[in-house]
Amino acid sequence: MTDLIIIGGGMAGLTAALYALRAGKSVLIVEKETFGGQITSSPRVDNYPGLPAISGNALTDALLSQVLELGAEIELEQIASLRQENGVFMADTGKKQFSARAVILATGARHRPLGIAREEQLVGHGVSYCALCDGAFHKGQDVAVVGGGNSASQAAVFLSDLCRSVTVIQQFDHFTCDQKELQAMQERANIRLLTDLRVTALQGDSCLTGLELTRPGSGDMHTQAIDGLFVCIGRMPDNEPFRGFIALDAQGFIAAGEDCRTSVEGVFAAGDCRAKAVRQLTTAAADGSIAAVAACAYIDQQRETAR
């Protein structure tokens, strides 16, 4: 039996593994897709302390190597359920079962879709959620980015080096990204910023050819020809396998405070999967360290009680 199972291999999960391993605990990291999480799709990270400019992939690759060298075990599996029996936590994939004395949930969150007709049908045919992954397919073309936060602004700047033009569409009357990110977009001649508009329809049959844009207040509508659309409007938590076992809030985020403790003793939450005001790389790392310290203390307490 492992001391600690960490479900999720992004920044929060890997940081938790680092702290737990250094505390002498055995650690199993279970990741369903790609180690590193969503930050691996960021071409440039320049707001992580001490690292003025690094790709998200390089940052998380270094962290993964660090925890593997310390003895972490890894499994590429998707956890379907979590339960507790006689003080032991069981994480079940449907085919495999892992047991541990404590659990850290660091499942992150997935890209939030626009939720309009034919969006899913056109994914991979003009609609994308990752500029780094799919930007090269639109080299020399006209594309649009939906969103007004840092992820949208970073995607726009990245795409401006590849595409003929980039139109950034924000549904509010202002951008919510950092001022530095906004300035970076404003300095690019081929980036056009549009506010107070929503994408209400996608045009094209087998591939995306244009957008229907509507102004919420007046209802005015116009169309814009486009070759690619990059959706950057936030994330949705991946916590459904744990619903009913731990408390989730109305949006599906784990109800855990700054101490990273969930409603079940011995289960902790770290990173974007928990209810929190700020979701950044640094806060994910902070959550990972806090959750690991708390989990190690819980494990030590259980061992002492069992003596």
* Mean pLDDT, range 224-252, rounded to an integer: 94
- Whether residues 194 and 271 share a domain: the answer is no
Residues 33 and 174 in one domain: no
> How would residue 305 be classed by pLDDT, with cut points 50, 70 and 90?
confident
The string of pLDDT tens digits covering residues 152-206 is 999 999 999 999 999 999 999 999 999 999 999 999 999 999 999 999 999 999 9
With respect to residue 117, please indicate whether it lies within any of the assigned structural domains.
Answer: no
Confidence band of 248 (pLDDT split at 50, 70, 90)? very high
Same-domain status, 260 and 285: yes
Which among 3, 134, 272, 287 is annotated as catalytic? Answer: 134
Catalytic annotation on 273? Answer: no
Boundary of a domain, candidates 181, 209, 231: 231
The whole-angstrom separation of Cα 42 and Cα 131 is 8
Q: 3-state DSSP call for residue 35?
A: coil
**In the prediction, which pLDDT does 206 show?**
92
What is the total count of domains within the chain? 2
306 versus 19: which is more confidently predicted? Answer: 19
pLDDT of residue 255: 97
Percent of the chain's residues with pLDDT above 90: 80
Residues 185 and 257 in one domain: no
The confidence band for 6, taking pLDDT boundaries of 50, 70 and 90, is: very high
In a domain, 116, yes or no: no
State the pLDDT confidence band at 121, using cuts at 50, 70 and 90: very high
Instruction: State how far the Cα of 197 lies from the Cα of 213, in Å rounded to an integer.
Output: 6
**269 occurs within a structural domain:** yes
Question: What pLDDT score was predicted for residue 105?
Answer: 98
- Quick one: tokens of 177? 């990204």
Question: Catalytic one among 46, 61, 92, 133?
Answer: 133
Question: Does a structural domain hold residue 122?
Answer: no
89, 9: one domain: yes
* Known catalytic residue at 130: yes
Give domain status of residue 146, yes or no: yes
Residues 7 and 47 both lie in one domain: yes
User: Which of residues 183, 201, 231 is at a domain's end?
Assistant: 231
Verify that 144 and 204 share a domain, yes or no. Answer: yes
Q: How far apart are the first and last CA of the chain?
A: 18
Q: Are residues 155 and 104 in the same domain?
A: no
Q: In the predicted model, is pLDDT for residue 52 greater than 90?
A: no
Do 232 and 145 touch, CB atoms closer than 8 A?
yes
Residue 133: its pLDDT value, please? Answer: 76
DSSP string, 77-140: ----EEEEETTEEEEE-SS-EEEEEEEEE---EEEPP---TTTTTTBTTTEES-HHHHGGGGTT
Domain assignment present for residue 120? The answer is: no
Look at residues 226, 221, 193 and name the one whose alpha carbon lies nearest to residue 210. Answer: 226
Instruction: Note the pLDDT of residue 151.
Output: 87
Instruction: Say which CATH number the domain at 294 has.
Output: 3.50.50.60
Mean pLDDT of the chain: 94
Q: Does one domain contain both 100 and 241?
A: yes
In this structure, is residue 288 part of a structural domain?
Answer: yes
Q: Judge if 137 and 172 occupy the same domain.
A: yes
Q: Which structural domain, as residue segments, surrounds residue 146?
A: 127-231
User: Has residue 56 got a pLDDT over 90?
Assistant: no
Residue 121 lies in a domain: no
**Predicted local confidence at residue 259, as pLDDT:** 96
7 and 105 both lie in a single domain: yes
In degrees, rounded to 5, the angle at the alpha carbon of residue 296 between the alpha carbons of residues 1 and 238 is 75
217 & 148 share domain: yes
Q: Among 182, 215, 231, which residue terminates a domain? A: 231
* Catalytic site includes residue 133: yes
Q: In sequence order, what E strands does 138-277 have?
A: 142-146, 165-170, 191-195, 198-203, 210-214, 221-225, 228-231, 235-237, 267-269
Name the catalytic one among 130, 142, 196, 300: 130
